[in-house]
Structure 1
Amino acid sequence: MQAGQKLPDVTFRTRVRDEAVGGPNPYRWQDMTTADYFAGKRAILFSLPGAFTPTCSTYQLPGFENNFAAFQALGVDAIYCMSVNDSFVMNQWAKAQGIENVIVIPDGSGEFTRRVGMLVRKDNLGFGLRSWRYAAIIDNGVVEAWFEEPGIADNHGEDPYGESSPETLLAYLEDAAKGAAA
């Protein structure tokens, strides 16, 4: 993906809390589309190899969560975290991380990830198909800026992290704000 490209139209199978369901697991299925998440918003989307994994849980997700107010001050309406994991896993990971501001999006089948060109094999780690690490600023469903870790490849021996970090996106947005003010 690159600046100016429209996100692919994909339907995500999510589980949402609904007290009307009752019982110990009050969740129901709810289909959400790309448009449901991104239409009419300026948002950050970041994607990572897997929920509960070290870099994702220690740096990337908490970094976006902890900087939510700073992103809002720079014109971001929403922050979304995507992974090729199912909704059950993504919801439990968000709960375990104490996430209140970042919204998790399950790309369980990897369809969105495939269509943006970021689906890679991670069989060397026992993961199967997963997302390469990236982040983007999306304005009303169109890519404003794209940040991709270098070296995209199947079964990559490392997990590069830096280009898709919250710090990188904050710096980009701060520079853009300074340029607009000049």
Structure 2
Amino acid sequence: MTLKAVPDVVFHTRVRNDALEGPNPFEWKDMTTSDLFGGKRVVLFAVPGAFTPACSESHLPGYEANFDAFKALGVTHVYCLSVNDAFVLRQWALSRNIERVIMLPDGNGDFSRMMGMLVKRTAQGMGYRSWRYSMFAVDGMIEKLFIEPGLQDNPGGVPVDRSDAETMLGYLRSSH
């Protein structure tokens, strides 16, 4: 397999700053692809949207529940990417008790577009969103991609058959 580099983009994230007082102790921090993937063994899974049914009921919880298994296989970081802003992703993580998966906002869809995974969901009133997929990347190079079938604009739905945590764990167990 020919390895492909993870797209070079800037993610606009929010990070906790304990020096800030009040109900919102967070500040903006731009993170580059190099910051997030360089020198790391990363599992990233992308979802069509925060708070959507399949994303909330199986996709995100599956990766959180299997976090220790990923770590045992040498994965350093697990990212959940969505074309949502940092505020939405934080509230989604809080609502689902997500503590170990890192929520990665692709608010403008730049990463998703450069991955070839940005699709229209305008028929559902959702604008542009990421297609559902997962990847394993080592030091910024994509080693394996699992893409849900039927990549297209305005799908009726996108299953969680290939990009789920169990499929990624199976791959990592068999190849590493």
TM over 0.5: yes
- Residue of structure 1 in register with 2:165 after alignment: 166
Q: Which runs of 5+ in 2 are unaligned?
A: none
CA RMSD of aligned residues (A): 1.1
- Residue of structure 1 in register with 2:127 after alignment: 128
Measure the CA separation in 2 of the matches of 1:70 and 1:23: 37
1:1-182 to 2 correspondences below 5 Å: 4-177=3-176
Q: TM-score, with normalisation over the residues of structure 1? A: 0.94
Q: TM-score, with normalisation over the residues of structure 2? A: 0.97
Instruction: Tell me the SS of whatever aligns to 1:21.
Output: coil
Letter matched to residue 58 of structure 2: Y
1:107-161 deviation per Cα after TM superposition (whole angstroms, max 9, x unaligned): 0000010000000000121101000000000000000100000000000112222
1:61-99 deviation per Cα after TM superposition (whole angstroms, max 9, x unaligned): 110011011111112111000000000001111111111
Letter matched to residue 51 of structure 2: F
Give the fraction of aligned pairs with identical amino acids, expressed as a percent.
53
Q: Which moved more, 1:20-29 or 1:82-91?
A: 20-29
Measure the CA separation in 2 of the matches of 1:3 and 1:52: 35
Measure the CA separation in 1 of the matches of 2:70 and 2:3: 21
Q: Which moved more, 1:15-24 or 1:166-175?
A: 15-24
Cα 1:86–1:115 shift into 2, 3 Å:
same
Task: Tell whether the 8 Å contact from 1:136 to 1:143 is kept in structure 2 after alignment.
Answer: yes
Alignment coverage as a number of residue pairs:
176
